[in-house]
Structure formats: C-alpha cells, structure tokens
Amino acid sequence: MIIAVDGPTASGKGTIAKALAAHFGLPVLDTGLLYRAVGYQTQLNHGDADNFADALAACDFPDALLDDPALRYETTGGLASRVSIHPQVRAALFQRQVDFANQPGGAVLDGRDIGTVIAPHADAKLFVTATPEERARRRHAEMIGRGVDVSLDAVIADVHARDARDTGRADAPLIRAADAMLLDNTNMDKDAALAAAIAFVEGRRALLG
Ligand code: C5P
C-alpha cells in the first residue's frame, strides 16, 4: 500500500506520515529532507539557491547529510523552498522518491507533490492543512519552546512566503490531488487528526481488498 501525504509547511503532515507508517508497518520518507539537503549543500558550496546550476550541483549531496541537525533549521527550510523551484532539481530527486514509493510492500511519503507527481497511483492520498495563522502559531510555539527568539509576526510572514513559493511555482506546485482526502486540522488536536487519517486509510485499504 502506498500512502501519499501532502500539505503546506507546518501543517503537521510529517507527524501524520510517521504515525501512519508506524500504524500500518510501512517505511516512511520525508521528501522535504531531500530538498533541505540540496538547499543546505548549496550553501556549503557557497552557491546561490536561486541559481539552478548551483542548486543542481548540490543534488549529489552525501547521504550522511540527511542526518545533519542543520537540515531542521528554519533557514534551511527557506533554502529548500528556493532550490525546489528549479525543475532540474526536482528531476534530479525524482527517481529516488519514485523508487522509495514503489518498493515491495509499499511506503508512506510526505511532501508537496507526492499524490500528484511522485505517486499519482498511490492507494491513499491525504492533503493535510490548517490556516496559515494556525500553522504559524504552532511553529512559533515550537520555536519558542526550543529557545529561539522570534516574533509571531515574523513566523506568519515566513509561512506566507513559503506558501506563496510552494503553490506558485510552475513545476509540481503544491496542490491537492483531486482524489486526496482533505484533512484540515485547524480546529483539531493531534490525536483527532491522526484518528481521522487512520480511519481514512483503513477505509481505502478495505476497498482495495
Ligand atoms: O516539508 P519541508 O518543510 O521539510 O520542505 C521544505 C521545502 O522543500 C518546502 O517548502 C518545499 O518548497 C520543498 N519540497 C518540495 N517538494 C516536496 C517536499 C518539499 O518542493 N515533495
């Protein structure tokens, strides 16, 4: 069974993807990490994330980079959303994601274009979202908890900027697949959102027989 989990930044899609993987006993790939690695490697190379040749050169980052805590930084997320605009970068990361999705037994992948581009044939697709203000509020609380000194207004502006880049790019923009379940968790806690996701995937699995 292939499960595609897409959604905007700070929507909780990563948490849901990991929990679905644990529940259904499937491997999980956070595809955002690949784009983060390219963004970070571009910086390590002293390249420019907006320049496609610099970003493309960073696509052969060493696998060990995927474990670097720096990939989780907000600044790296910003770099990722800049390098991910280049079609050449998306093409370079394409096969790795397709192979992960199509491995025997299936997989869970989370990202922006899993249900539309990477695994349009996925058995269950979810589009996880919440209002930009709510996503920013959660991200801000999480950052304050980690001791990062940042204003809510700055996080709201960052969420809007990332949404605009992710939905506005020409190649593989963030969009809900027509057959994806919309899971808007603005007014849901984590447990309720997860229960809804599991119920949806169970239903899809029952249909598959
Ligand atoms: O999900 P995460 O915030 O880690 O992703 C970082 C950035 O990578 C996103 O803002 C998006 O621009 C890009 N991305 C993408 N396609 C994916 C996953 C992430 O373009 N499948």
Whether the predicted pLDDT of 4 surpasses 90: yes
Give yes or no for residue 35 CB within 6 A of ligand 1: yes
pLDDT of residue 179: 96
pLDDT of residue 209: 75
pLDDT of residue 2: 98
pTM of the model: 0.96
Q: What is the DSSP string of 113-131?
A: SIIIII-TT-SEEEEEE--
Angle between helices 74-83 and 32-44 in degrees, nearest 10: 90
pLDDT of residue 95: 98
Whether the predicted pLDDT of 193 surpasses 90: yes
Per the CATH hierarchy, to which homologous superfamily does domain 2-201 belong? P-loop containing nucleotide triphosphate hydrolases (3.40.50.300)
Q: What is the mean pLDDT of residues 74-97?
A: 95
pLDDT of residue 74: 86
Task: Render pLDDT for 6-37 as a digit per residue (tens, 0 to 9).
Answer: 999 999 999 999 999 999 999 999 999 999 99
Give yes or no for residue 8 CB within 6 A of ligand 1: no
Task: Render pLDDT for 109-160 as a digit per residue (tens, 0 to 9).
Answer: 999 999 999 999 999 999 999 999 999 999 999 999 999 999 999 999 999 9
Name which of 131, 177, 139 is nearest 158 in CA terms: 139
Atom 9 in ligand 1: which residue has the minimum CA distance? Answer: 81
Q: What is the mean pLDDT of the chain?
A: 96
Give yes or no for residue 7 CB within 6 A of ligand 1: no
CA atoms of 2 and 22, how far apart (whole Å): 14
CA atoms of 113 and 11, how far apart (whole Å): 15
CA atoms of 145 and 143, how far apart (whole Å): 5
